[in-house]
Amino acid sequence: MTQLEFARKGIITDKMKEAAAREGIDPELLRERIAEGTAIICHNNLHKNGIPLAVGKGLRTKVNANIGTSKDDKSIDKELEKARVAVAAGADAIMDLSTGGPIDEIRAAIIRETQACIGSVPLYQAAVDTVTRKGKAMVKMTVDEIFAGIKKHLDDGVDFITVHCGVNRAAVEQMDREGRIMEVVSRGGSFTIEWMTYNNAENPLYEYYDRLLELVKPYDATLSLGDGFRPGCLVDATDRAQIQELITLGALTQRAWDAGIQVMIEGPGHVPLNQIEANMLLQKQLCHGAPFYVLGPLVTDIAPGYDHITSAIGGALAAAAGADFLCYVTASEHLALPSAADVHEGVIASRIAAHAGDIVKGVKGAIDKDIAMAKYRKALDWEGQFAQSLDPEKARRIRAKSGVDEGHGACTMCGEFCAYKVMNQRKEQLAG
């Protein structure tokens, strides 16, 4: 049975116990939420070294880091370094989006060398196999080849797979009628639409959705229903194509649940600040409260080189409004493949956003670290402050560069005029 089926029968599994312990909540509460579909345990039965990851209602907002090769940079070593950096920075999950070089070996190495939850987009596999290994045009992929790519990833132990099942003819028609500046920016979405157009056929993952459910169930992997029509610029946000796809994903969520398959929904994308909360509410309503996994959202289009910041701004608001899982964005977004340093900064920025949202949502224990930090700051306890920091090494590095003797206590911003020192001295005077 799957975790969803166990949960519906009132059975608390070892995976539920382990995930609940990591969240600091009662396993029965987690079981109830899995049973209703508002939480998931993301873990493929074949991912033997993987840690079951709980995502969803009332849980800590999780962070994913995208890595992966391209045609222009095929280094396995670089991607493994990025995977290690992402995990060290606190990423809960890693998505391998490789499209260049030995992608099977890269995926296997990432799975082997980390305990993090692993996601992927199997359509990339099918495309690479078709073009590079079989010498055919991508649009000549067969339905069987598409499903073979999915099976390959599941066999390798991938915990959640992004599948663009909602990219159907109805949504494409809405996009074409309404018009968009950037049309489709999802790579998997664009592949799917190109295939549909060339073959004059419906999306196979929509048309043969029951086949997909049958394939996934033995692995108990999570379906991450992809947002092929996520907006790639602010003015395309929350349009008919995006909402048409979301309506379809709501129906597909129900069908997956009926088959015992766990689901999360992927979301935008580039979204103005004043539309983020509405997007979160729409998803929760249309998709029956299924966990929501968002890219960013990015709140402006004009900050290349700083999109980890535009993403963190939107991510904080999204998490506060109900998003359950944030996909980081790095400073290299829209410009280049990220470096290991970009990955580190991207994960930290997304973790800041996730934590800010958790405080608003009242996630158990979220505010405790901030209270502890406040107490350490008041006491001018630098080691305590470093211990509570999301990036202790950077905080320690900046402090050390100031050249201040540790015994001095205050930082170089205020020195002897430090407000903490003044108030601490006042307290001593009152006590005396």
Q: Are residues 304 and 387 in the same domain?
A: no
Q: Left (φ > 0), alpha (ψ -120 to 50) or beta: where does 9 sit?
A: alpha
| 255 and 111 assigned to the same domain | yes
Is the pLDDT score of 415 beyond 90? Answer: no
pLDDT at 82 over 90: yes
Domain annotation covers residue 158: yes
Give the domain CATH number at 256. 3.20.20.540
**For residue 14, is it within any domain?**
no
40 domain-assigned: no
Asked whether residue 267 is assigned to any structural domain, the reply reads yes
Claim to verify: residue 403 and residue 315 sit in the same structural domain: no
pLDDT digits (tens, 9 = 90+) for 339-385: 999 999 999 999 999 999 999 999 999 999 999 999 999 999 999 99
Q: Give yes or no: residues 310 and 374 share one domain.
A: no
Instruction: Looking at the structure, tell me whether residues 285 and 395 fall in a common domain.
Output: no
Q: Count other C-beta atoms under 10 Å from residue 371's C-beta.
A: 10
Q: Which among 361, 387, 419 is the end of a domain? A: 361
What tokens does 353 get? Answer: 């956003």
pLDDT digit string, tens, across residues 106-136: 999 999 989 999 999 999 999 999 998 899 9
Q: Are residues 184 and 251 in the same domain?
A: yes
Separation between Cα atoms, residue 314 and residue 269, nearest integer Å: 10
pTM above 0.85, yes or no: yes
Boundary of a domain, candidates 343, 361, 379? 361
Q: DSSP string of 333-361?
A: TTTSPPPHHHHHHHHHHHHHHHHHHHHHH
Listed residues 341, 361, 381: the one ending a domain: 361
pLDDT at res. 133:
86
Only one residue has tokens 């045009």, namely 137
Mean pLDDT across 277-300: 98
Does pLDDT of 5 surpass 80?
Answer: yes
**Does some domain include residue 343?**
yes
Mark whether 113 and 187 lie in a shared domain: yes
- Candidates 307, 302, 346; CA nearest to 327 is 346
Domain of 379 in residue numbering reads as 366-431
Task: Give yes or no: residues 326 and 393 share one domain.
Answer: no
Same domain, 286 and 342: yes
For 390-399, write each residue's pLDDT tens digit. 999 999 999 9
Q: In the predicted model, what is the mean pLDDT of the chain? A: 96
Residue 20 lies in a domain: no
The answer to whether 286 touches 245, Cβ cutoff 8 Å, is no
User: Does residue 338 share a domain with residue 204?
Assistant: yes
Q: Tell me if 256 is assigned to some domain.
A: yes
Which has the higher per-residue pLDDT, 26 or 418? Answer: 26
* pLDDT greater than 80 at residue 407: no
CB 249 within 8 Å of CB 165:
yes
Please tell me the total count of domains within the chain. Answer: 2
What share of the chain in percent tops pLDDT 90?
A: 91
Q: Is residue 408's pLDDT more than 70? A: no
Question: Is pLDDT at 406 greater than 80 in this prediction?
Answer: no
pLDDT tens digit sequence for 66-81? 999 998 999 999 999 9
Q: Are residues 354 and 371 in the same domain?
A: no
Collapsed DSSP state (helix, strand, coil) of residue 63: strand
In a domain, 222, yes or no: yes
| Cis before 24 (ω within 30) | no
Residues 381 and 268 in one domain: no
